[in-house]
């Protein structure tokens, strides 16, 4: 931790990149852990691909309805709050997240780039209508497929398999990563591209990559710091050290 604190203290620009691991202490399962991960008992290509939504919206929403239930009532944990504190103190420029759970926003992060979208809203790809989460859940409770007022099935505003990441969000994330003196990667395996390439952008530009996550990543040899403890403990210790 002293090494990470020193890098952050001396940096002109620090950007955080977060993945599913930061939300596990809030009671949200990650994706790949055996037995407990979201994909442990289901093929994501069968239930979370854009073609699955088009082909069988009822099966798709059966899966996503369960995801909404998992996320219901979840609160930010100490790691989310620590990043918000670092931003409020001027130590962190932005958070780039792969998560769709809204917890960074609830924690108070102001500059948040959600490169995989958010469950906050769902949209109609036929007429462009957009509905907040509470309304989507209400319609899902009444029908097996939440539909727009025009009658077309809604799609959650998250990036599904088979879809491109939002261009604007990735452009902003790439610029932040390239300009960062420190890219703080928290709770991410750095295996999902193109987001994993943000670490490469920082390293290629001469910045420092710091990783706080359990388990190996493809960028461990590039990282100047690798911490494998509990993400809440590590980030709260970082805040205390600064």
193: left (phi over 0), alpha (psi -120 to 50) or beta: beta
CATH code of residue 64: 3.30.1600.10
Q: Can you give the pLDDT at residue 70?
A: 78
Among the ranges given (31-35, 47-51, 216-220), the one the predictor scored with the smallest mean pLDDT: 31-35
232 and 179 within one domain: yes
Percent of the chain topping pLDDT 70: 93
Q: What is the DSSP letter of 206?
A: T
Phi first, then psi: give them for residue 120, nearest 5 degrees: -55, -35
**Residue 224 shares a structural domain with residue 126:** no
Domain that holds residue 38: 29-73+118-158
pLDDT over 50 (residue 182) = yes
- Residue 27, by phi and psi: left (phi above 0), alpha (psi -120 to 50) or beta? left
Cα 187 to Cα 190: distance, rounded to the nearest angstrom: 9
Residues 238 and 182 in one domain: yes
Q: For the segment 61-86, what is each residue's pLDDT rounded down to a tens digit? A: 988 887 777 777 889 999 999 999 99
- Non-local (6+) Cβ contacts of 159 within 8 A are 115, 116, 117, 165, 166
Return the C-alpha torsion angle 150, 153, 154, 156, nearest 10: -170
pTM of the complete model beyond 0.95: no
Regarding whether 220 and 171 lie in a shared domain, the answer is yes
**Cβ 115 vs Cβ 173: under 8 Å:** yes
Catalytic option among 49, 80, 104, 116: 116
Number of domains observed in the structure of the chain: 2
80 is catalytic: no
- Examine the domain organization and report whether 57 and 24 are in the same domain: no
């Amino acid at each position: 931790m002293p090494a990470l604190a020193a890098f952050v203290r001396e940096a002109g620009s620090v950007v955080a990149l977060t993945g599913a691991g930061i939300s596990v202490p809030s009671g949200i399962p990650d994706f790949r852990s055996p037995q407990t991960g979201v994909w442990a008992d289901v093929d994501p290509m069968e239930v979370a691909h854009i073609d699955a939504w088009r082909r069988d919206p009822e099966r798709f929403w059966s899966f996503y309805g369960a995801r909404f239930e998992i996320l219901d009532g979840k609160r930010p944990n100490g790691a989310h709050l620590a990043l918000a504190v670092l931003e409020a103190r001027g130590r962190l420029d932005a958070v780039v997240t792969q998560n769709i759970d809204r917890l960074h926003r609830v924690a108070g992060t102001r500059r948040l780039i959600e490169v995989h979208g958010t469950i906050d809203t769902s949209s109609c790809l036929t007429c462009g209508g957009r509905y907040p989460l509470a309304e989507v859940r209400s319609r899902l409770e009444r029908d097996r497929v939440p539909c727009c007022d025009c009658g077309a099935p809604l799609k959650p505003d998250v990036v599904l398999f088979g879809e491109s990441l939002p261009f604007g969000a990735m452009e902003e994330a790439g610029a932040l990563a390239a300009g960062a003196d420190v890219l703080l990667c928290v709770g991410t395996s750095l295996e999902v591209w193109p987001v994993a390439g943000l670490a490469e952008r920082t390293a290629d530009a001469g910045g420092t990559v710091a990783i706080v996550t359990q388990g190996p990543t493809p960028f461990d040899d590039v990282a100047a710091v690798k911490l494998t403890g509990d993400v809440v403990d590590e980030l709260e210790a970082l805040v205390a050290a600064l």
